[in-house]
Amino acid sequence: MKPELNQAVREIAIAHPTTVRVFESRGIDYCCGGKRTLKDACERASVSVQCALDLLAAVEEGASVDVANWAGASAGELIGHIVGRHHKYVRSESPRLGIMLEKFVGRHGQEHPELASICDLFGALTQELSAHMLKEENILFPYFEQMESAVSRGAAPPPAVFGSVETPISRMLADHDDAGELLAEMRELSSGYRGLIPRAPPIGPFITIRGIRTRPASPRAPGKQHSLPTCSSYGTAGLRGRK
């Protein structure tokens, strides 16, 4: 597998799901910011392009085939997975993580003022995701299912109150970009969710911040390889062509 430098990171991740290990380890956003080219994404993450190419090649050589093929999934399968796994996870974990961050601010805020900013950003991210999920579940996803059902019967897609399906899709993708920016700010403030202060002992709030980040990789999804359907669902299963 030899990715092109002008290929979107999202396309690489969808076509070769095992590459997400490399993207995650190097802080390269393949989900919310996945529309960037590999070259641009590496520059944004301060990662050597050649290093990324070498790591991607190495991962593919020993890649496991036990990965779901979301690019070939139906709309119903994608929606069931996204709502049942990702949306459920965000709703169950966000309150717990918010409480933990508030405790960090109260306990370590004076020594680490950046914690207050991280807490505010997480609150904004939680609100963004909550509104986003409701729009998907109540507006976009039901229409996707109606479209798929109509196409399977050889019928025309049903009319939509929002006009073209591209309208809500563009709004959802914009939400993804907004969430990606919030996550990028949190990552920067916490020094990549590792955040150990130079010359400081390896203790303190950033160890727990890292725990928040790595369980289960981010508030976006439980298990990074499972977030592929979230970032690709709007363009798969032929939905864009079923307006």
Quick: pLDDT tens for 169-201.
889 989 988 998 998 899 888 887 765 343 333
Q: What is the pLDDT of residue 64?
A: 52
Higher per-residue pLDDT: 61 or 15: 15
Q: What is the DSSP letter of 200?
A: S
Backbone phi, psi, residue 223, to 5°? 95, 115
- At residue 19 the predicted structure's pLDDT band, cuts being 50, 70 and 90, is confident
> How far is residue 239's CA from residue 75's CA, in Å, rounded to a whole number?
8
pLDDT > 70? residue 217:
no
Q: Give the domain ranges of the chain.
A: 9-61, 72-241
> How far is residue 196's CA from residue 189's CA, in Å, rounded to a whole number?
11
CA-closest candidate to residue 30, choices 233, 234, 224, 239: 224
pTM of the model: 0.70
pLDDT > 60? residue 164:
yes
**Percent of the chain beyond pLDDT 70?**
74
Tokens 């009319």 correspond to what residue?
A: 159
**Percent of the chain beyond pLDDT 90?**
36
> How far from chain centre, in Å, is Cα 100?
22
The pair of structure tokens assigned to 152 is 């399977």
Higher per-residue pLDDT: 90 or 70: 90
> How far is residue 104's CA from residue 116's CA, in Å, rounded to a whole number?
9
Q: What is the pLDDT of residue 42?
A: 93
pLDDT > 80? residue 70:
no
Show the beta-strand stretches assigned E in the chain. 217-218, 221-222
Q: What is the DSSP letter of 156?
A: P
Averaged pLDDT of the chain: 78
Query: 8 - beta bridge partners?
Result: 37
Answer whether the bond into residue 216 is a cis peptide, omega within 30°. Answer: yes
In Å, what is the CA distance from 110 to each residue of 189, 192, 195, 200? 15, 21, 16, 15
Show the beta-strand stretches assigned E in 28-101. none
Residue environment code for 102-117, b if the CB has 16+ CB neighbours within 10 A, otherwise e: bebbeebeeebebbbe
